[in-house]
Amino acid sequence: MPMPYREKKIDHMLVDRETIDAFIKRLGKEISRDYRGEELFFICVLKGSFMFAADLIREIDLPCQIDFMSVSSYAGEKTTGVVKINKDLDSSIAGKHVLIVEDIVDTGLTLNHLKSLLSTRNPASIGIVTAFDKPMRRRVDIHVDYVGMEVPNEFIVGYGLDLDGYYRNLPEVAVLSDKE
Ligand code: PRP
């Protein structure tokens, strides 16, 4: 039986605020430089990336828009990454330079499917930016254009990342203890 939220203990802090702030500034500079002269359309993939997206777009020195999508795996389809759209974009991405904003790339299945799906809507380009990356967990070969930092294969929470919906509000990223 899964342990209730209050019985889970934070084992140790993995990423502090200074580190997060530093990579957000770096990513903001890189993206602003790479897309100079263009406009950007950010897609925040709910829920986990809401905090990162809010911080990142404040470091973008270009005209930009942001919209939100909510996706989840179909029941029984976690191994294929086929996603169900719970909330779609409110506007068209045709002809726009799109950047999908994720909190974490794990197996890569969600993004692989989402990127294919969005590519059919004729954007001018489509890229991916993630705060955290767990490359050792990858199951599909997907190119992630911008990575805040790589993290080890541990269960992490905070800065948008959750356990059963909790812990997203931690300003830093922590590793949860698996001890009962
Ligand atoms: C997380 C994350 C990605 C996905 C990555 O979302 O935000 O969308 O998992 O996993 P993958 O690379 O193995 O596909 P989650 O399903 O936890 O939803 P949430 O953002 O609402 O917490």
Distance (angstroms) between ligand 1 centre and the Cα of 94 equals: 25
Among the listed residues 95, 30, 40, 27, the one whose alpha carbon sits nearest the alpha carbon of residue 66: 40
- Predicted pLDDT of residue 10: 87
From atom 10 of ligand 1, which residue's Cα is the shortest distance away? Answer: 106
Domain ranges (residues) in the chain: 7-173
- Residue 176 contacts residue 13 (beta carbons within 8 Å): no
Q: How confident is the model at residue 5 (pLDDT cuts 50, 70, 90)?
A: low
Q: Which CATH architecture fits 7-173?
A: 3-Layer(aba) Sandwich (3.40)
- Predicted model pTM: 0.92
Distance (angstroms) between ligand 1 centre and the Cα of 110 equals: 7
Q: Tell me, using a 6 A CB cutoff, whether residue 110 lines ligand 1.
A: yes
Q: What are phi and psi of 60, to 5 degrees?
A: -95, 125
